[in-house]
């Protein structure tokens, strides 16, 4: 089985084939696998999920099958088990070298990608699979949505329409949270976000208590900033990640999935009296469709192009989706 190397003479510039191209025509740091090539790396990793569990794990309109788990996520689970074991060994070796005992430090996995790409499903499937390894590690999942500024604050700042853009997050609070996690702190608290009310839930928190693995899912978790000229340390969210995943798809597919999901929600979640989008369950279909297109083109597409997609090549692993959310290609960063 021979994986393709992005950036080799025969593949350089072939964006239509891989969706991932090297910068400035240089050799890419990624090794690219077709779906069949990646599936062969599963080896003897057992299937630990049932069809019923998959239904609960997948997001609305995100198609997920046992074959997707077997061919994509089980090889990924096997790879991560090797990475986590190696990181734990390195950590213990460093403790011996420094003659200290720092205690348990979680392995942090970041999951990034556009709205409607299916990153939430990816994060939940990984959480379920990793928690069922033979050594039964403690795995927790948080989303960075909880670190969005509350709607009242976004309104005050005049950026409610830019929710999901980097400036709409309380990044210092997120950095403090991740710093505490990596320091091995007990009972670190993270705020909770409700997609029903479209706002941070006041007084509600998630407690993260020294898991073996923490999965952090969000739009802009691979975002960087311009380093200061005076050389001061400016941490990024991704500085705290041990491994990162970017869920990728063409703009046209993301557009279609977003609009389809919005229209499907008119028949489900939007009908809840507490839903922020309640009125779009009652308006004519044409008006709801117009709003979906407006939200995609006026907010989500801009955020994708300006802030999310530029971070794709910072990921350790890129899951490239085709039709019906089916992952067709996997790009793994070289060590």
Q: Whose CA is closest to 278, among 288, 259, 159?
A: 288
Low-confidence ranges of the chain (pLDDT < 70): 1-26, 60-61
Q: Can you tell me the distance from the alpha carbon of 254 to that of 297, in angstroms, rounded to the nearest whole number?
A: 11
Structural domain includes residue 4: no
Q: Which residues contact 90 (CB under 8 A, 6 or more apart)?
A: none
Structural domain includes residue 192: yes
Structural domain includes residue 30: no
Return the pLDDT at 323.
Answer: 86
Structural domain includes residue 278: yes
Structural domain includes residue 61: yes
Return the pLDDT at 15.
Answer: 41
Q: Can you tell me the distance from the alpha carbon of 301 to that of 231, in angstroms, rounded to the nearest whole number?
A: 34
Q: What is the CA radius of gyration of the chain?
A: 20
DSSP 242: S
Return the pLDDT at 26.
Answer: 60
Q: How many domains does the chain have?
A: 1
Structural domain includes residue 305: yes
Return the pLDDT at 57.
Answer: 85
Torsion angle of the four alpha carbons 78, 254, 198, 56, in this order, in degrees rounded to the nearest 10: -40
Residue 68 sits in a domain whose CATH number is 3.40.50.300
Query: Mind listing the pLDDT tens digit for each residue in 159-202?
Result: 999 999 999 999 999 999 999 999 989 999 999 999 999 999 99
Structural domain includes residue 55: yes
Q: Can you tell me the distance from the alpha carbon of 118 to that of 63, in angstroms, rounded to the nearest whole number?
A: 9
Q: What is the span of the domain harbouring residue 200?
A: 35-333
Structural domain includes residue 254: yes
């Amino acid at each position: 089985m021979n994986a393709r190397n992005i950036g080799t003479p025969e593949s350089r510039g072939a964006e239509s084939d891989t969706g991932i191209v090297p910068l400035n025509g240089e050799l890419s740091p990624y090794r690219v696998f077709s779906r069949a090539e990646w599936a062969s790396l599963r080896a003897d990793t057992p299937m630990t999920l049932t069809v019923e569990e998959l239904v609960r794990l997948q997001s609305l309109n995100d198609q997920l099958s046992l074959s997707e788990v077997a061919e994509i996520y089980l090889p990924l689970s096997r790879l991560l088990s090797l990475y986590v074991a190696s990181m734990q060994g390195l950590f213990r070796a460093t403790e011996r070298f420094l003659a200290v005992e720092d205690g348990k430090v979680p392995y942090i996995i970041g999951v990034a990608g556009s709205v409607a790409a299916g990153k939430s499903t990816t994060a939940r499937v990984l959480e379920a699979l990793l928690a069922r390894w033979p050594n039964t590690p403690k795995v927790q999942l948080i989303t960075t949505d909880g670190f969005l500024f509350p709607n009242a604050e976004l309104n005050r700042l005049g950026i409610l329409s830019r929710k999901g853009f980097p400036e709409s997050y309380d990044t210092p609070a997120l950095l403090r949270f991740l710093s505490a996690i990596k320091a091995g702190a007990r009972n670190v608290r993270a705020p909770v976000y409700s997609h029903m009310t479209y706002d941070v839930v006041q007084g509600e928190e998630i407690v993260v208590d020294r898991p073996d693995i923490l999965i952090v899912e969000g739009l802009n978790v691979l975002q960087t900033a311009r380093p200061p000229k005076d050389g001061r340390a400016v941490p990024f969210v991704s500085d705290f990640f041990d491994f990162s995943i970017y869920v990728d798809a063409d703009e046209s597919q993301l557009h279609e999935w977003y609009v389809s999901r919005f229209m499907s929600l008119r028949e489900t979640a939007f009908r809840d009296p507490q839903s922020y989008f309640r009125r779009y369950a009652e308006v004519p279909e044409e008006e709801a469709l117009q709003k979906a297109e407006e939200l995609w083109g006026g907010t989500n597409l801009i955020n994708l192009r300006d802030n999310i997609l530029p971070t794709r090549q910072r990921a350790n692993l890129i899951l490239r989706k085709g039709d019906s959310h089916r992952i067709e290609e996997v790009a793994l960063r070289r060590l």
